[in-house]
Amino acid sequence: MTTTPATTGVGHRVLVGLRACWDWLGPRLRRALTFWRRSIQARVVASTVVLSAVVVSGVGWILLQQTRDGLLRHRAEVVLGEVDAEVADAQDRLEAASGREVNANQQQRDLVDPIIERGDSRGYAVVLAGPEEEGGKLRAGGGEYTSGLDLVSVPAPLEEHFDGPQRPTAWTYTEIVRSRGTGSQARTTREPGIVVGSQVQLPSDGRTYTLYFLFPLSEEEETLALVTRALLTAAGLLLALVAGLTWLVTRQVVTPIRMARQVAERLAAGRLQERLQVSGEDDIARLAYSFNQMATSLQRQIRQLEELSWVQRRFVSDVSHELRTPLTTVRMASDVLHDAREGFDPATARSAELMQAELDRFENLLVDLLEISRFDAGAAVLTTENVNLADLVRRVVDAARPLADQRGIRVRVVEPPHPVRAEVDVRRIERILRNLVTNAIDHALADDPSEAVIVRLASDDEAAAITVRDHGVGLAPGEASMVFNRFWRSDPARTRTSGGTGLGLAIAQEDAHLHGGWLQAWGRTGQGAQFRLTVPRHAGGTLRHSPLPLVPDDDAPSAAAATAPLTAPLTGQGVVPDEERG
């Protein structure tokens, strides 16, 4: 089938129209869904109104059914009484005229005509059927039924009921069909009604005829419609009242909760002096009082911790600075002794070498403490430049190559074919990578040469990532969130080849946070560990994901179990962000 340009144009216009409708409707629908999810007051009001509507509908339907049944029952009683009176009156008239010489046709007209006239004046119709000895069927023509009435108004079951003489009076519901007007003005009307059948016997021929009385139910229908309108109006007003009352009641409960949420958010933002207003003595007031007590206690403890932290930072900073002067003097003396160690006896020469090595470690510790002090004081700043991270990785790996060769560890770099560029502080990123690579070499096992330390790089439009994977002792459950703590070691008794102060990973994570990035850890006992550094490609950018997985591919079947202990908040140490949890 060939698609014509006109058909294609119409389809395109339809798609454009649908897209425009969705562009207009989509944001509003999303805002409505967001409001529905966030507003407990809206959900409570809507649920109450829906349940109330169901209850009101059920009660209203029952009332309507009872009203309808009552109206019809009362109408049927009235109709049966009126029919009995009409039949008795007709029978009396027939008996009174039985002494005169009249034929059967004349008696039929004397019987039906007065009833039809009264029916026209009172609003009901009359049909004469019979005689029963000849089948009792309805016949059209003459004056045997009300003019304009359609004989289909008499139901066939009722007609079959009177298939013989001496049948009792019976009634049923029906639809009264009338023809009004003539020619082009003719029209047919239909209305519900009650049809009552009763038999009479003509004295002239002794035959039995059936009279059908058709009473309309228009008044009852109007009454039922009036009751229905009244119930609908009352139901609408009741639902509006219920909605208003529910809104007021829920507002009394939700408003203090919203105030508590706002105060809690301000407390979380650091405004520790915020408190809830307490009024009354009910449960809400007691909750506000307890909340204020909790906030006061937290404020006191936080201030104590802040003071302690300030004292600690000041102590570390002061000690670090004060130790640099005597360290310089000791370093000068140590250098003299170390240079002259060849003239000492072996024990003294070894002591000079040990002094030199420990002074190096002590000097590194002071440098790290001073760096930590700058982070704690908020004095650390970035000097960013757009660089290829692969160059930094290769430079760090080349610098760590002697240590790796000494341990018998292979270090392998896996990088993409394109440059991994990002705006970073080169000195700080190199320090992070140096810590990660040397730690990986220090913790790796040299028993299996195939299990090398692997450094991977990747990037996308928003972020760049570097992972360092070793196959060494690994991390026990829960330790991945502790490796970035200051002075923490997984095994304090284990000898360290590369030395270290216990502050390297803490400083590395501070450097990552200063870039607005993540430094995270994964590990399993006996299967090694992997550290991942993720930074935004552009300075000041926000991270939402990482181009590399935290759990290595060789442990993918155990990814869920591996990330189980890494569920602390992002402000913790070495954790998995919410968007990357499995």
* Residue 31 scores a pLDDT above 50: yes
Asked if the peptide bond before residue 131 counts as cis, ω within 30 degrees of 0, the response is: yes
User: Measured between alpha carbons, how far is 429 from 422 in angstroms, rounded to an integer?
Assistant: 11
The pLDDT, as a whole number, for residue 232 is: 92
Strands (E) in 433-547, as ranges, are 453-459, 463-470, 518-524, 528-536
Tokens representing 434 are 């140096």
> Residue 528 in contact with residue 409, Cβ under 8 Å?
no
User: Measured between alpha carbons, how far is 551 from 522 in angstroms, rounded to an integer?
Assistant: 6
CA-nearest of 497, 395, 394, 393 to 443 is 497
Using pLDDT thresholds of 50, 70 and 90, give the confidence band for residue 561.
very low
User: Measured between alpha carbons, how far is 474 from 451 in angstroms, rounded to an integer?
Assistant: 13
CA-nearest of 432, 445, 552, 528 to 479 is 528
Provide the CATH number for the domain formed by 283-376 in this structure. 1.10.287.130
User: Domain limits of the chain?
Assistant: 97-216, 283-376, 381-580
User: Measured between alpha carbons, how far is 125 from 107 in angstroms, rounded to an integer?
Assistant: 19
Strands (E) in 410-494, as ranges, are 411-414, 421-425, 453-459, 463-470
Provide the CATH number for the domain formed by 97-216 in this structure. 3.30.450
> Residue 490 in contact with residue 548, Cβ under 8 Å?
no
The pLDDT, as a whole number, for residue 557 is: 47
β-sheet bridge partners, residue 421? 388
Using pLDDT thresholds of 50, 70 and 90, give the confidence band for residue 238.
very high
CA atoms within 13 A on the CB side of 245: 9
How does pLDDT run across 246-293, given as a tens digit for each residue?
Answer: 888 888 888 888 888 888 888 888 787 888 888 777 777 888 888 888
User: Measured between alpha carbons, how far is 92 from 90 in angstroms, rounded to an integer?
Assistant: 5
The pLDDT, as a whole number, for residue 63 is: 92
The pLDDT, as a whole number, for residue 581 is: 36
Of the ranges 75-89, 196-210, 339-353, 560-574, the best mean pLDDT one: 75-89
> Which one has a higher pLDDT value, 339 or 51?
51
User: Measured between alpha carbons, how far is 345 from 101 in angstroms, rounded to an integer?
Assistant: 170
The pLDDT, as a whole number, for residue 560 is: 41
User: Measured between alpha carbons, how far is 213 from 176 in angstroms, rounded to an integer?
Assistant: 11
CA-nearest of 387, 372, 497 to 445 is 497
Beta 453-459 vs 411-414: how paired, if at all? parallel
β-sheet bridge partners, residue 126? 213
> Residue 188 in contact with residue 178, Cβ under 8 Å?
yes
The pLDDT, as a whole number, for residue 555 is: 63
User: Measured between alpha carbons, how far is 22 from 8 in angstroms, rounded to an integer?
Assistant: 21
Tokens representing 225 are 């419609």
The pLDDT, as a whole number, for residue 352 is: 82
Using pLDDT thresholds of 50, 70 and 90, give the confidence band for residue 576.
very low
- Mean pLDDT, the chain, rounded, equals 79
Amino acid at site 206: G
Q: Which CATH architecture has domain 381-580?
A: 2-Layer Sandwich (3.30)
Other C-beta atoms closer than 10 Å to the C-beta of 300 total: 11
User: Measured between alpha carbons, how far is 481 from 555 in angstroms, rounded to an integer?
Assistant: 19
CA-nearest of 536, 154, 221 to 382 is 536
The pLDDT, as a whole number, for residue 579 is: 39
Tokens representing 219 are 């008044």
Q: From residue 298, how far is each of 291, 309, 479 by CA, in Å? A: 10, 16, 28
The pLDDT, as a whole number, for residue 567 is: 30
Question: Is the pTM above the cut of 0.75?
Answer: no
CA-nearest of 380, 378, 365 to 319 is 365
Beta 187-201 vs 208-216: how paired, if at all? antiparallel
User: Measured between alpha carbons, how far is 99 from 86 in angstroms, rounded to an integer?
Assistant: 22
Of the ranges 90-94, 314-318, 446-450, 569-573, the best mean pLDDT one: 90-94
In the chain, the percentage of residues whose pLDDT exceeds 70 is 82
Sign of the torsion angle spanned by Cα atoms 563, 564, 565, 571: positive
How does pLDDT run across 463-489, given as a tens digit for each residue?
Answer: 999 999 988 888 888 788 788 877 776
> Residue 193 in contact with residue 215, Cβ under 8 Å?
yes
